[in-house]
Chain A
Amino acid sequence: MDDRSFAAAQDFLLSAKTFWSTTMYQALRDKHAAAKKTASGDAGEPVAAIAHALEDTTQYQFYSWLERHLQRMKYVGRYGLVPYHHERRDELLATFDQSIDADNAVQIDGSLTLPAYYTGVDIHQHPGGVWSDDVAGMIYERGARTTTPLVGVAEKDVHERFTDLALGERTPAKILDMGCGFGKSTQPFVRRLPDSSVDAVDLSAPCLRLAAYGTRESQASNVRFRQMNACNTDYDDGTFDLVTSTMVLHELPPKTIEELLGEAFRVLSPGGRMVHLDFYCLPDAFRRFVHYGHARRNNEPYMQPLAELDLSALVASKGFVDVEIKPFQESDHIDLNANDAWRFPWTVIAATKPSEAAQ
């Protein structure tokens, strides 16, 4: 397949996804509203009741089919990201050359054991996951450009907006980005705070290599990407002033979330802040129903358990104070009170490790 055919097919799929996430989503929302009117009482309507009302409707069946299969077609099939990158494998890997593993900005740990929750599912329908193939990082990077179809390219993206919020007025000297992927969540911190040092860890070697390559291009020297389990790092207690993660918690089973929070607490200095961006606050049962359905259809088995967790209590149980869990506006034109398009339930989860005096 040549680049034009690939781009045309991917553009086609993205347009189809945009129609799905607006027009088809609105139709489903209206169908639910109409069904609710005829049902007796809607206070505390549970997800199962909505499933009963909607699952057998043709509307919901097409909605569901498209949600799963537009994503599948993005990856596989004749014009998918996977065959596109496989056809170009040698050429793509050559851009890295052999020296990337020797680069100061990256540290690969060939002996790291990947957890079973990680290898047991092809997350968001990426065949083989984001870790098993040398070009998996590039596939992930290319695919991530169109994860949120309604966010325009000219706007400040999710990561930039989140960095604004995570930093606020602070200038932390040492930052840890847990589950950094190919560095998209790390780069804004690196750019914004050239005098701070940023460490970023992830399980995926192909993603880390891509992150390091990006750093080579931007010539930043204040960042290191290291292959490590975020729940079990080799940092000393109290190393960081800010620990952050973006879109990582929902990929972890509840027990692993607890471990990650414990590790964040350990490596934070007293008074240090932890700020995560993930999917959590669901304003009503309909959006919960939509979110759980998305999780199932998109191969995200831990999305629902996270949404059902008492996160505030869990964070506090690790010793954190000032726990804040708030909906996050991912782009300028998103109205958090509207419900006219499919969107992730973006949420910021923040807390502080008590200062020495308070401990």
Chain B
Amino acid sequence: MKQGSKSPRSEQQFFDDPAIDRIMGAFMALATEHYVLLDRVRAMERELVNAGTLNRGSLGREPDEVERAETSADRTAFIEALMRPLLGEQEALGAAGKFSLK
């Protein structure tokens, strides 16, 4: 949602590369969203515990080996998605290297 000045002025820049200023904006928005979600999950737990639907003790205990094994594939897939981009590999065959139309 865009608000604020009617005149399109450029935002103040603090880092040497303005890309960092902007990525910080996205990063802080995500961090906020993450906290809002965390807060909601906790509130939900509280409601469920109060209603007797949930046992906080059993929710908070360390998962046993059986449960760990069940969730292991999902964990691996998550890490794969998160870290594969760090390798800089091309996924679909095409032009490679630093982009330029100069």
A: residues with CB less than 8 A from B are 4-5, 8-9, 12-13, 16, 56, 61-62, 64-65, 68-70, 73, 75-80, 82-83, 122, 127-128, 296-297
Task: Tell me which residues from 36 to 86 in chain B have a Cβ below 8 Å from any Cβ of chain A.
Answer: 36, 38-40, 43
Q: Which applies to chain B's interface (DSSP): helix, strand, loop or mixed?
A: helix
User: How far apart are the CA atoms of A13 and B31 in the complex, in Å?
Assistant: 10
Known: A65-B24, A78-B29. A127 touches B39 (CB 8 A): no
- Say whether B90 faces chain A, with CB atoms less than 8 Å apart: no
Contact status B36-A127, CB under 8 Å: no
Task: Tell me which residues from 6 to 36 in chain B have a Cβ below 8 Å from any Cβ of chain A.
Answer: 12, 14-16, 21, 24-25, 28-29, 31-33, 35-36
Contact status B4-A76, CB under 8 Å: yes
Contact status B32-A9, CB under 8 Å: yes
Determine how close the nearest CB of chain A comes to the CB of B45; give it in whole angstroms. Answer: 14
Contact status A127-B29, CB under 8 Å: no
Contact status B25-A69, CB under 8 Å: yes
Name A82's closest neighbour in chain B (CB-CB). B3
Known: A8-B35, A12-B32, A61-B14. A78 touches B1 (CB 8 A): yes
User: Cβ of A77: which chain B residues have Cβ within 8 Å of it?
Assistant: 1, 29, 32
Interface centre among B15, B33, B35, B40 (most CB of A within 10 A): B35
Contact status A13-B15, CB under 8 Å: no
Contact status B40-A8, CB under 8 Å: yes
Q: How many A-B residue pairs have CB under 8 A?
A: 64
- Say whether B5 faces chain A, with CB atoms less than 8 Å apart: yes
Known: A9-B32, A69-B25. A122 touches B5 (CB 8 A): yes
Contact status B5-A8, CB under 8 Å: no
Q: A13-B32, A82-B3, A83-B1 are in contact. List 7 more A-B contacts (CB 8 A).
A: A4-B39, A5-B40, A9-B32, A12-B35, A16-B28, A61-B14, A127-B4
User: How far apart are the CA atoms of A8 and B32 in the complex, in Å?
Assistant: 8
User: Cβ of B38: which chain A residues have Cβ within 8 Å of it?
Assistant: 8
Interface centre among B16, B29, B31, B36 (most CB of A within 10 A): B36
Contact status B4-A12, CB under 8 Å: no
Known: A83-B1, A127-B3. A73 touches B40 (CB 8 A): no
Determine how close the nearest CB of chain B comes to the CB of A28; give it in whole angstroms. Answer: 13
Contact status B3-A65, CB under 8 Å: no
Of B24, B25, B36, B43, the residue contacting A12 (CB under 8 A) is: B36
Known: A4-B40, A65-B21, A77-B29. A9 touches B14 (CB 8 A): no
